Amino acid sequence: MAAVTAGQTAQATEGGAEGADAALQAAFDAAVAADERIEPRDWMPDAYRASLVRQMAQHAHSEIIGMQPEANWITRAPSLRRKAILMAKVQDEAGHGLYLYSAAETLGTGRDELLDKLHAGRQRYSSIFNYPTLTWADVGAIGWLVDGAAITNQVPLCRCSYGPYARAMVRVCKEESFHQRQGYELLLALSNGTPAQHEMAQDAVNRWWWPSLMMFGPPDDASAHSAQSMTWKIKRHSNDELRQRFVDICVPQAEALGLTLPDPDIRWNEERGQHDFGAIDWTEFQEVLKGNGPCNEQRLGQRRRAHEEGAWVREAAAAYAAKHTVVPNGKATA
């Protein structure tokens, strides 16, 4: 962001604290309005910073927890090609988590702190990962629907007002689109396979469709953070707009797959030029968010366990680094 330079900051400070804040706020607002990027060293409102930390941490946590439902099938993947694709995907997700934690760290927080909050249940991850992967077809349904919904959400984030987040999203979206096509192709192979495989694919779509729609968050009239995020250009479209866009993309894709979506109310609305669709079970959504979904305990439990059981490894790495780090005068620290 060019609008608030160090010089302007100094000038503004001379005008007294209140005047300074007003001038900084005005410069920030002007930068956001002009679609400029806010960068880590720029002044930003505390609430903007806090809101970004919340959203980016949640996003990073989702990548990490999101490894579990898919990793659940690595050892059972039915062909070596599919196994390689799935391993590569889970590896990418860990990488996305790392990008996003780094991006969040530019706001003055630390990865360890964010992970502690995740483990303590004080920060969330996407509700979708609290659903179980019961068959191999679920891996395809996650690729097609869950990654599809994530991309619909994330592509507009590539133009988010906060630079590090927007740049992370550009990289993440490229890889996610690839995963999404692989998931679609997996389902297509099943759908065109034996009757048992076709049934497996349909069953997976039936179980993942509604939870995927919930990934866009509560309806616009119940979304606590939406209005402010849109003013700040962290968000570019409302939850309901993105959900509608996703439904419109999925309907023809489901047809091409030869699978049906489990919603008798889906039909083309000529007048709106969009699909109508049925009501989402928001009670279920709220229950999952509260921790009462099918896998909440299991997912967080596994994450905590991996962290706790890995503590001795991290301690060893730190102790080794302390013994062997070469300090500027050339002597190893004892």
Partner 1 sequence: MTAALALGDDALVLSHRLGEWAGHAPVLEEEVALANIALDLLGQARLLLSLVGDEDELAYLREERAFRNVQLVEQPNGDFAHTIARQLYFSVHQEGLYEQLAAGDGAFAGIAAKAVKEVAYHRDHAEQWTLRLGDGTDESHERMQRAVDALWRFTGELFQPVEGVDVDWQALHDRWLETVTTVLERATLTVPSGPRSGAWTAGAGRQGIHTESFGRMIAEMQHLHRSHPGASW
- Shortest separation between residue 77's beta carbon and partner 1, angstroms: 8
Of 24 and 60, CB closest to partner 1: 60
What CA–CA distance (Å, rounded) separates 59 from 40? Answer: 18
Candidates 13, 20, 54, 95; binder of partner 1 (CB under 8 A) is: 95
257: left (phi over 0), alpha (psi -120 to 50) or beta: alpha
Binding mask 168-187 for partner 1 (x = CB under 8 A): ------------------x-
Calculate the CA 209 to chain-centre distance. Answer: 18
Candidates 122, 252, 255, 320; binder of partner 1 (CB under 8 A) is: 320
What CA–CA distance (Å, rounded) separates 183 from 141? Answer: 7
139 near partner 1, rule: CB under 8 A = no
Q: How far apart are the first and last CA of the chain?
A: 44
Candidates 170, 256, 314, 333; binder of partner 1 (CB under 8 A) is: 314
Calculate the CA 197 to chain-centre distance. Answer: 30
317 near partner 1, rule: CB under 8 A = yes
Site residues for partner 1, window 58-87 (CB under 8 A)?
A: 64, 67-68, 71, 74-84, 87
- Shortest separation between residue 99's beta carbon and partner 1, angstroms: 11
Candidates 29, 49, 58, 88; binder of partner 1 (CB under 8 A) is: 88
Handedness of CA 218, 220, 225, 226 (dihedral sign): positive
Site residues for partner 1, window 249-288 (CB under 8 A)?
A: none
Label residue 83 exposed, middle or buried (CB < 10 Å: 0-12, 13-18, 19+). Answer: middle
Alpha-carbon dihedral 153, 158, 164, 165, rounded to 10 degrees: -10
DSSP assignments along 54-112, one per residue: HHHHHHHHHHHHTHHHHHTTGGG-SSHHHHHHHHHHHHHHHHHHHHHHHHHHTTT--HH
- Shortest separation between residue 326's beta carbon and partner 1, angstroms: 15
Of 92 and 248, CB closest to partner 1: 92
Of 1 and 137, CB closest to partner 1: 137
Site residues for partner 1, window 186-215 (CB under 8 A)?
A: 186, 189-190, 193-194, 196-197
Is the distance from CB of 150 to CB of 211 less than 8 angstroms?
no
Q: Segment contacting partner 1 (CB under 8 A): 158-166, 174-182, 267-275, 305-313? A: 305-313
102 near partner 1, rule: CB under 8 A = no
Of 88 and 249, CB closest to partner 1: 88
Of 35 and 309, CB closest to partner 1: 309
Q: How many residues bind partner 1 (CB under 8 A)?
A: 51
Binding mask 17-56 for partner 1 (x = CB under 8 A): ----------------------------------------
> How is residue 21 written in tokens?
């804040």
Of 198 and 236, CB closest to partner 1: 198
With a CB cutoff of 8 Å and minimum separation 6, the contacts of 140 are 183, 184, 186, 187, 190, 201, 204
Backbone angles phi, psi at 332, to 5 degrees: -70, 140
What CA–CA distance (Å, rounded) separates 212 from 188? Answer: 19
Q: Segment contacting partner 1 (CB under 8 A): 2-10, 94-102, 174-182, 230-238? A: 94-102
Residues lying near partner 1 in the complex (CB under 8 A):
64, 67-68, 71, 74-84, 87-88, 90-91, 94-95, 97-98, 101, 136, 186, 189-190, 193-194, 196-197, 302, 305-307, 309-321, 323-324
